[in-house]
Chain A
Amino acid sequence: MIKVKINGQEQNWDGDPDLPLLWFLRDEVGLTGTKYGCGQALCGSCTVIIDKQAVRACITSVSDVVGRDVTTIEGLHPTGDHPVQKAWRQLNVPQCGYCQTGQIMQGAALLMDNPKPSHDQIREAMAGNICRCGCYQRIENAVHLASTGV
């Protein structure tokens, strides 16, 4: 039995310890805000935050996160009003929205690390997150807006 902490809550897992965290979150815990896009750390849809770092849940196994705090989009802010989330809404960022939770988690992690990123730094830090709808211009501006206070 493995015990892991997701959004402050303890979760037990008695199955395959190598199960990717992504599927544990989505299928076993029911936290479906974390999305599948590639399964190979190529797209960022599955981004969660572990110890202030953006992590791809699709290549992280459940056993890897034992004893660490995993934050998913559902736990980013108690009322969903993290500055990045607010900036996102202010700029009407999403199109289909599927990639957006991963983008928001990546953006939030960036601001933990670098509260005032330049546009170039944003473009670099967010380059691991694909948006097939092509919302990049607004994503970039929303991260910037979040960094200046919303």
Chain B
Amino acid sequence: MSQSSGLKYAYFPGCSLQSSAVDYNRSILSTCTELGIELRELEDWNCCGTTAVTSTNLLLSYLLPARNLALAEEEGLDLAVACNSCLVTHRRVTGCFSLDISPLANKIRSSLHKIGRTFRGRVQVRHILDILAEDLGFEGLAGKVKRRLEGLKVVPYYGCQYSRPGAQLKEAEMPESMDQILDLLGVEVKEYSRKTKCCGGVLMTTKPEIAAALVNELLEEAADRGADAIVVTCPLCQMNLDIYQGDVNARFGRSYNLPVVYFTQLLGIALGVKLVELDVHRGFVPAEPLLRKYA
């Protein structure tokens, strides 16, 4: 590990990062190691429940992430999350605790008590992107860039939940943090009006015709803008855009061939991390031919 940045978090990878997004996980870990950010995986974390549990049992949708927050509080650390949906799910809980009197917070407290846990609302939930852009900061990052990714053209796709709910309208619809990081790396960041448009999320499984139409729009604009790749911050977006790209091509008679990479993979390359440590070979649409020359 290089010199410590003094930043330390309890890390919640979330379920996707152990399966469909192992590449995201690996690139986060190698990049943060390189930057001296300590991510200590939360011991014995559980699934946050995501929209599945919010759609079946409301109280449970607060209790599952609350257990993770209690575990982080026991460590005395803020919680670093990688997935946009995990971000929203955990923040729904911390949101109840920031209000003075919330009957829901009391209910969460008493339920946690029954499994021998406590949560007092002293944990902040931070997306890896915000940790890099705000906690470490652009200056901290700029000093570490070893290789500039000149000539690489991308569109930044944040997905719908990264900047919502809660943010002011402009930030909620047109965030800038990832654009700025990519700028620092020398990447050519194209305008992209669909930065925070929905990818359909889990509808890709339950109502594929709808989600595929949304993904088709996202791919179409990316191609129209002349992007070589789409850069994402969320495992579910990556899955819908990459793993289902062939399916979308078949449905709509298109021939997109756009690699969908995580911002941490590009950052890692610029920091001098080896390609294999960033797992760039796992995408369905191969990203290696595009990225090899920078490594």
Binding between chains A and B? no
Using a CB–CB cutoff of 8 Å, the interface residues on chain B facing chain A are: none
Using a CB–CB cutoff of 8 Å, the interface residues on chain A facing chain B are: none
